[in-house]
Amino acid sequence: MASMTRTRSGTIPSMETSGHGFTDNTIIVVFGASGDLAKKKTYPALFGLYRNGYLPKDVHIIGYARTKMDEEEYHKRTTSYIKNPNNDPEVAAKIEEFKKLSSYVSGNYDDNPSFQNLARHMEAIEKGYKTRGVNRLFYLALPPSVFVPVAQHVKVCCYATNGTNRIIVEKPFGKDLQSCRELLSSLKQSWQEEETYRIDHYLGKEMVKNLLVLRFANVAMGAAWDKHSISSVQISFKEPFGTEGRGGYFDEFGIIRDILQNHLLQVLSILTMERPVSFASEDIRDEKVKVLRSIPPIKREDVLLGQYVGANGKPGYLDDDTVPKGSVCPTFAATTLWINNERWEGVPFILKAGKALNEAKVEIRVQFKDVTSGIFKDISRNELVIRIQPSEAVYLKLNTKTPGYAFRAIPTEMDLTYKRRFTDTNIPEAYEALILDAIKGDHSNFVRDDELDVAWKIFTPILHWIDGREGPRPKPSPYPYGSRGPKELDSFIEKLGYKRGTGEDYSWPTTNVSNL
Ligand SMILES: NC(=O)C1=CN([C@@H]2O[C@H](COP(=O)(O)OP(=O)(O)OC[C@H]3O[C@@H](n4cnc5c(N)ncnc54)[C@H](OP(=O)(O)O)[C@@H]3O)[C@@H](O)[C@H]2O)C=CC1
Ligand SMILES: O=C1O[C@H](COP(=O)(O)O)[C@@H](O)[C@H](O)[C@H]1O
């Protein structure tokens, strides 16, 4: 049953759960505890949940990896990214408490004795439980090459027969349609769909979750949400740093598999799906799959690829020691997708992502059509911008009469910057929100198997072309580290009808009218 959350302005039925919430007797095992993701995201998220009282009572966290390290080293690593900028003694004390509920086991990813050792460690902890029934949550913060052996060994050696088991699997789920299907079917041999949580952490981001409310709780928004009003949509991901040390992983996958095929496509599906029957996870995911099925595979002419080169004292992609010599792996990609349904026919959806760009920003930019010509000349288009990060915001660029004697229009904006509007809110990190969902048994913000299938169908043909399976590999266009991307980017977007604002007139957040 969906429960209701009372808010001052309305009620939102919370997502339906497909299993019971873990409230006590819980062990969380983090596989790959020595790694980058564990250090930067998983443990800080677990700490955030612990600090705010969201972890089950008497929870225990076990880190597992091959690296041999003592508990001191383990605690040092796993708390190194937990923020306490002002050395707040209360936070420091919480960090010490957090360390006490966590232990480390070293072992391999492919042999029974290692997993049996882990099972014994769990059983020793569970002996202290006062009530019957245990909950085990296994988090695979691992490279995809070991997903299957780990999932299988966990099932054979560590699966609780007297309780509930859940497994969280990280992206990327395969490299193309075929390998994804193989991966899914191997995992399904040991884990039921209901027990499996495929994480795409963009689904845990506040502004991505907000899309459901922005779109479906606002009549004004719904009325303009189609090909009649919207000219184009851009979903952009910009990171100001390169692969730095992650080149080995990155070169095997490239920017399309790293960001576009999963994170940005998930955003696109929520932005364009029809209204779900309810907020129940299957209703939402049914609608996402439906819209994705209306997107044909991307054509080569709808792709722009780039690779960063050294500039401003920063190394190029090929200067990274972990990158194979002469690699043509794209670190930037822009692709245009088309949705062949009644609502969206003819509207270009541009997904673009790049490493080593000029800023850190993820945003959705919905550009509306020109107003009917006649009374206005050279007037800016309306644009709705949903900034996912940093500094969550929604702003709508709209034309206003210049205040004062003059009668002319200038572009301004209605601005909902979260920091200013919600002064006392703590927005959880994406991983906090998603781990909490898995603890509660809520699948809504996790990826269903059929979503993956359609997502890979859209991208597989261009990925095979980029991988060189169909002839010579396309050469990405070079762009300097710290720039906006390849020089062809502006024309790529403009040819799809995107109009930059009237430029000089527009200044955000304030405009000095006397300068106009
Ligand atoms: N890093 C990030 O910011 C993000 C990562 N992800 C996803 O999370 C997963 C893990 O990423 P990340 O932590 O960066 O990866 P790492 O390369 O840091 O790998 C994690 C751990 O796995 C073990 N490992 C590494 N390579 C191998 C291998 N070839 N065979 C067996 N074990 C290996 C290592 O532990 P040991 O040797 O001690 O066993 C390592 O510490 C990936 O699927 C990635 O796509 C998703 C979002 C963000
Ligand atoms: O999945 C990934 O995401 C991160 C970016 O995550 P964000 O939450 O900081 O936006 C990216 O750096 C990494 O390459 C990719 O694997």
**Global confidence as pTM:** 0.92
**pLDDT confidence of residue 20:** 81
Task: Output the CA 37–ligand 2 centroid distance in Å.
Answer: 9
Query: Same structural domain for residues 144 and 211?
Result: no
Is the minimum distance from the CB of 200 to ligand 2 under 6 angstroms?
no
* 263 belongs to the catalytic site: yes
Query: Same structural domain for residues 160 and 238?
Result: no
Is the minimum distance from the CB of 169 to ligand 1 under 6 angstroms?
no
Task: Output the CA 201–ligand 2 centroid distance in Å.
Answer: 9
**pLDDT confidence of residue 49:** 97
Structure tokens at 424: 């006392």
Query: Same structural domain for residues 228 and 163?
Result: no
**pLDDT confidence of residue 248:** 85
Asked if the structure places residue 413 within a domain, the reply is no
Asked if the structure places residue 501 within a domain, the reply is yes
Q: Write phi, then psi, for 471 (nearest 5 degrees).
A: 130, -165
Query: Same structural domain for residues 152 and 260?
Result: no
Is the minimum distance from the CB of 437 to ligand 2 under 6 angstroms?
no
**pLDDT confidence of residue 502:** 47
Query: Same structural domain for residues 326 and 285?
Result: yes
Query: Same structural domain for residues 58 and 161?
Result: yes
Asked if the structure places residue 397 within a domain, the reply is no
Task: Output the CA 261–ligand 2 centroid distance in Å.
Answer: 13
Query: Same structural domain for residues 337 and 222?
Result: yes
Asked if the structure places residue 489 within a domain, the reply is yes
What is the distance between the alpha carbons of residues 285 and 90, in angstroms, rounded to a whole number?
41
Ligand 1: nearest atom to the Cα of 39: 13
Asked if the structure places residue 126 within a domain, the reply is yes
User: What is the ipTM score, two decimals?
Assistant: 0.96
Give 373-431 pLDDT, tens digit per residue. Answer: 778 888 899 999 999 999 999 999 999 999 999 888 899 999 999 999 998 888 999 99
CATH number at 79 reads: 3.40.50.720
Query: Same structural domain for residues 148 and 220?
Result: no
Query: Same structural domain for residues 142 and 217?
Result: no
Look at the chain and report how many structural domains it folds into.
2
Hey, which of 206, 236, 239 would you mutate to test ligand 2's pocket, going by the most ligand atoms within 8 Å of its Cβ?
A: 239
CATH number at 239 reads: 3.30.360.10
User: What residues have CB less than 8 Å from 217, skipping those under 6 apart?
Assistant: 10
Name the one residue in this structure whose structure tokens are 């590999």.
Answer: 473
Low pLDDT (below 50) residues in the chain? 1-7, 15-16, 502-504
Whole domain around residue 69: which residue ranges?
Answer: 4-170
Query: Same structural domain for residues 166 and 207?
Result: no
Query: Same structural domain for residues 152 and 225?
Result: no
Asked if the structure places residue 66 within a domain, the reply is yes
**pLDDT confidence of residue 460:** 98
Asked if the structure places residue 510 within a domain, the reply is no
Angle formed by the axes of helices 89-100 and 43-51, nearest 10°: 110
Q: Extract the runs of DSSP E, i.e. beta strands, from 109-211.
A: 134-140, 163-169, 196-198
